[in-house]
A and B are shown apart, each in its own frame.
Chain A
Amino acid sequence: MRRALVALVPGALLLLAACGGAPPAADAGVPEPGGTLRHAISTWPTCLDPALSGGRLFTVPEQIGETLTGQAADGTIVPRLADSWEIADGGRTYTFHLRPGVTFADGTAVDAGVVAQNLTALVALNAAGKSDTLTRNALNSFTGSEVLDPATIRLHFGLPELGFLRNASDPYLTIWSAGTAALPADRRCAGELVGSGPFAIQNVTRNQRVDLVKRPEHGWSRPELGEHEGPAYLDAITYEVVPESGVRVGGLLSGQFDVIDDVPVADQESVRAAGGSVVLGTVPNLVPGIYHNPYSPLGGDLAVRKAILLAIDRTEIRDTVYGPGYEVPTGEVARNTPLFTDLSSQLRHDPAAAAAILDQAGWTPGPDGVRVKDGVRLEPRLTYVAGSTRGATQQDLELVQQQLRPVGIAVQLVPQTAAEASADLADVSKARFDFASGAGAGKDVDFLIGLFRSTNPRLGGFANPGLEAAADALDTATDDASRAAAAAALQRYIVDDAQWIPVREATRAYAAEARVHGYRVDPYAQSVFHDTWLQQ
């Protein structure tokens, strides 16, 4: 929901490389209103509501709903449904002043009462276990709200919630109409969503298509988010689920679709050759990488972890498996994640240092080059979910395997099903893996707290006082300065202790036909169509 006209903000923090030509948003020319944009999407989410499990990061809520705050391209928080706000009690009280004259697609007004209803509904969904982990975390200490007047609402939290303004910009805190807020989870999931955005849902056919129509009365877009004034240019947007990537690309090249998502690297060149553009967006998260099983002797060996961290050549992975428009990871979290800390020197490719660390720890090269210590060969089992592109993929890991071999680490790659992987996570102390591939959904660095505390099933209660203390420090920070310092310290601890070994940046690739103008992706790497227009 954070609009960002990237072409107008060169050098923006969020690097949306539109490779092989000018970014589509940079087209000169007067926008031509009208037309229907046809968008082929690869998957249908289990839920269309971003607040609920399985609904995060789907493109439709972006177009139909709005949030209290917005996130500009450079990551700053700007007004959206709220014109202004005050924070009191060290982050325990937030007062939002709502913008007047904003309506939902059903004609009702966006007022303090409906905001309160939305929050009450989310608390109930949280309690029922229906919501996404991030929704739950955001409202963890929320104790209630008061409607001061129709345009003013005050939220109360039991703990300092310094990240709440950013949480309030995330799609999961989209403010829906009173009718939507009153619906049970399954109907919200099925797409009965009425929001205040520039488009409204006209029709949803599960697992097949969504039709959106323009709201001509929408005139409250925010220039701070890079949006033009007035309603959207497009009359309608049609989303169609096309699971097969070859069919999406073929459909784009033959003019059956205007925009497609999840474009394979191998097809990006043919899209550009046909005059289309490829738009890459970096997803803010804990980057796809490798984590260890703290109960396994090899995974628990800090020297082994540090050696792997240094022996991986991330630039080679980027160049071999991906392409020049993709980023090389420079930290534990994606660089567009708020409070990101640059750790590129710790993530350098240094096989000599890796070898030295292993030598020092007593891992000596055996006759076949694989290191041995106390009769144990350095052959860690690394599990990954076959076919999944969320963590480090099979292709990434095969290259990692090659890169680690000269250092004397013979990684055994073990493909798993999603079921086997989640069974492993249910009890890591009994699971037979030394390392595993993964990634962590995130927004603010706050999510690192939950991911690296020993209560996370992934860590299986394994005590690591240093990590726990670093996570606690971020959790209990009471002002922005100490929060930033604690966030940086936690990220440093994670890399120094090799608690997470980054492999690549998570990147979403979209392609647009030549006649599509003003198309861009937001800081969550989601398509934004408010400013998009079609050359007739």
Chain B
Amino acid sequence: MSRRSALANGGYGRYLARRAVQGVFVLWAAFTLSFVVLYLMPSDPVSIMLNATGDGVGVDPAAVAALRAEHHLDSPLVVQYLFALGDAVRGDFGTSIPTGEPVSRLIAEALPQTLQLTALSFVLAVVFGGGLALLSTSTGWRPLRQALLSLPPLGVSVPTFWVGLILLQVFSFRAQLFPATGNAGFPALVLPAITLAVPTGAVFAQVLAKNLAAAWRSPYVETARAKGLGRTRIQLRHALRNGSIPVLTIIGITVGQMLAGAVVVETVFSRNGIGRLTEESVAAQDIPVIQGLVVLSALVFVLVNLVVDAIYPLVDPRIGRLERRRVARTEEVPA
């Protein structure tokens, strides 16, 4: 970004540019770290491919050597790393070792399924988590409030796996309202999305409820009350806006939680997405695919946090102002 446009966009542009550079660094670090970790593991993907469960006893050394050479697993680590990094920068993560399919194709096939799943469960989490928090702080009846506030810890602590199986048992095997498996259409998306939304929504509800409660005890709410504003208006116009800043921060973290949750949810509901692909490629120690998935996850993290960072100043102008002040300070030096 040129100095002129940076100035034109003011501190906000500079603020975003700085975040973007940090994001690129995160991507590189994720790639490098995963590369090192994967290569430090015992054995190699070729032996595992030829002996899928590790307890077969008929692996042919000649076949291992041929495949190792084909995938350059026999060159020095640094050479392998530089080649892999060079290709990765161009978006080429190579081919899966067991199937020979391009990593980009495997990911492109799986990604839409996971995007649908996480998008719907994110919406469900925000609506129900946020709704629960608003309801619990709006209600004046103490027993109801206590009951509502006890739900988020429950939602966080029950295993996703178990929630999925219960939903299947009730809504698919007994009531036959939704299909138990597959990727086909919206009905197949409902139960997995609910399962994935439970822990995420619970965290949203927990954090938002706590912050709303704090906001209600703050002086500006006193002021608003003194001005004669109604309870609902204070809740939505004042308390919610201030109480949602920490939730925004949580969203960045939640994306990672959702990707991890997708591994379990996609397995339970037999959906073919990023989670299943992750589970399989880890089992097969399929290094090119795992690398592609690590970089993809890092990319998602970076993008989501970039969006969150971009939203902060809009919700709370103080954040942008702080940044602008810092930018102004650094620009004073050359001047």
Report A's interface with B, CB cutoff 8 A. Answer: 40, 46-47, 53-54, 128-129, 133, 136, 185-186, 189-190, 205-209, 240-244, 246-247, 250-251, 253-254, 256, 286, 291, 384-385, 388-391, 416-423, 425-426, 436-441, 447, 450-451, 456-458
Contact = CB atoms under 8 A, between A and B. Distances in A.
A250 B174 CA distance: 9
B63 A242 contact: no
Nearest to B100: A186
A456 B48 contact: no
Nearest to A392: B55
Contact of B270 (A129, A186, A242, A421): A242
B146 interface: no
Contact of A209 (B42, B180, B182, B276): B182
Interface centre among B57, B61, B277 (most CB of A within 10 A): B57
A416 B54 contact: yes
A418 B57 contact: no
B49 A247 contact: no
Nearest to B106: A206
Interface string B149-178: 000000000000000010011001110100
Given A207-B272, A254-B173, A416-B54, 8 more contacts: A54-B98, A136-B63, A243-B276, A254-B174, A389-B53, A417-B42, A438-B56, A451-B57
Contacts of B313: none
A240 B270 CA distance: 9
Nearest to A246: B165
A417 B54 contact: yes
A251 to B, nearest CB: 5
B101 interface: yes
B277 to A, nearest CB: 8
B333 interface: no
Contacts of A286: 57
A456 to B, nearest CB: 7
A54 B49 contact: yes
A422 B58 contact: no
B280 interface: yes
Nearest to A186: B100
A241 B270 CA distance: 6
A422 B168 contact: no
Contact of A418 (B52, B66, B172): B52
The 9 residue pairs across chains A and B that have the minimum distance between CB atoms:
A129-B66, A418-B54, A421-B54, A186-B100, A423-B42, A391-B55, A423-B43, A254-B173, A46-B98
A388 B55 contact: yes
Interface string B43-78: 100011111111111111111011100100000000
Nearest to B165: A246
Contacts of B253: none
A53 B49 contact: yes
Contacts of B285: 418-419
Nearest to A385: B54
A208 B272 contact: yes
Contacts of A46: 49, 52, 98-99, 284
B41 interface: yes
Nearest to A387: B53
Contacts of A250: 168-169, 172-173, 180
A243 B270 contact: yes
B183 interface: yes
Contacts of A389: 53
29 contacts: A53-B98, A54-B52, A129-B65, A129-B66, A189-B99, A190-B101, A207-B272, A207-B277, A208-B183, A240-B181, A244-B165, A246-B165, A247-B181, A250-B168, A250-B173, A251-B173, A251-B180, A254-B174, A256-B172, A291-B57, A388-B53, A391-B55, A418-B51, A418-B285, A419-B42, A419-B43, A420-B42, A447-B58, A457-B59
Given A136-B60, A205-B272, A244 B47 contact: no
A439 B56 CA distance: 5
A242 B285 CA distance: 22
Contacts of A291: 57
A457 B268 CA distance: 37
B109 interface: yes
A420 B272 CA distance: 28
A438 B55 contact: yes
A54 B43 CA distance: 18
A476 B269 CA distance: 52
Contacts of A40: 181
Contacts of A426: 43, 47
Contacts of B42: 417, 419-420, 422-423
B116 interface: no
B283 interface: yes
A205 B106 CA distance: 11
Contacts of A388: 53-55
A254 B99 contact: no
B267 interface: yes
Given A54-B98, A426-B47, A251 B181 contact: yes
Contacts of B181: 40, 240, 242, 247, 251, 256
Nearest to B277: A207
A439 B267 contact: no
B96 to A, nearest CB: 9
B39 to A, nearest CB: 12
Given A240-B270, A244-B270, A418 B67 contact: no
Nearest to B183: A208
Nearest to B176: A254
B56 A207 contact: no
A206 B41 CA distance: 28
A171 to B, nearest CB: 17
Contacts of A209: 182
Contacts of B183: 208
B179 interface: yes
A420 B43 contact: yes
A457 B56 contact: no
B139 to A, nearest CB: 38
Nearest to B169: A250
A133 B63 contact: yes
